[in-house]
Amino acid sequence: MQSVGIYEAKTRFSALIELVEQGEEVRITRHGKEVVRMLPVRRRPVISDEQIARELGQIASLQATIAPADDVKPSAETLRRAGRSQAA
């Protein structure tokens, strides 16, 4: 990780970008306080296709264990009226 002031960052911007492209983290400071953090863009996905498939399978298994409600769901109109009566 490299830390530079704003003036130095302005004068060495291209060189700092090259460092970031190589995987280095660059922090730019103003009066000693960090104001910008430059990080390399991730080129690989954060989660793999296998992980996505596994998670979707777990979600499907969980949904299969949830029993559907026997009672009839109230309509949107019924819920709207109930909300208005409570607000009054």
Question: 14: domain CATH number?
Answer: 3.40.1620.10
Tell me the two tokens of residue 67: 């029993």
Query: Do the domain assignments include residue 71?
Result: no
Angle of CA points 30, 12, 2, to nearest 5°: 60
Q: Tell me if 49 is assigned to some domain.
A: no
Enumerate residue ranges in the chain where pLDDT < 50: none
Structure pTM?
Answer: 0.48
Range of the domain at 27: 2-38
pLDDT value, residue 87 = 63
pLDDT for position 80: 85
Task: Let me know if residue 7 belongs to a domain.
Answer: yes
- Please, where are the H alpha helices in 1-88? 6-11, 13-21, 49-65, 76-87
**Domain for residue 45, yes or no?**
no
Domain contains 30? yes
- The pLDDT score that the predictor gives to residue 24 is 92
Does 24 fall in a domain?
yes
CB 27 within 8 A of CB 36: yes
Q: How far is CA 80 from CA 7, 15, 71, 88, in A?
A: 59, 60, 19, 13
Whole-number pLDDT of residue 13: 96
- What was the pLDDT predicted at 53? 94
**How high is the pLDDT of residue 49?**
87
- Split into its structural domains, the chain has a count of 1
Is residue 48 assigned to a domain? no
* Whole-number pLDDT of residue 28: 97
Q: Is residue 54 part of a domain?
A: no
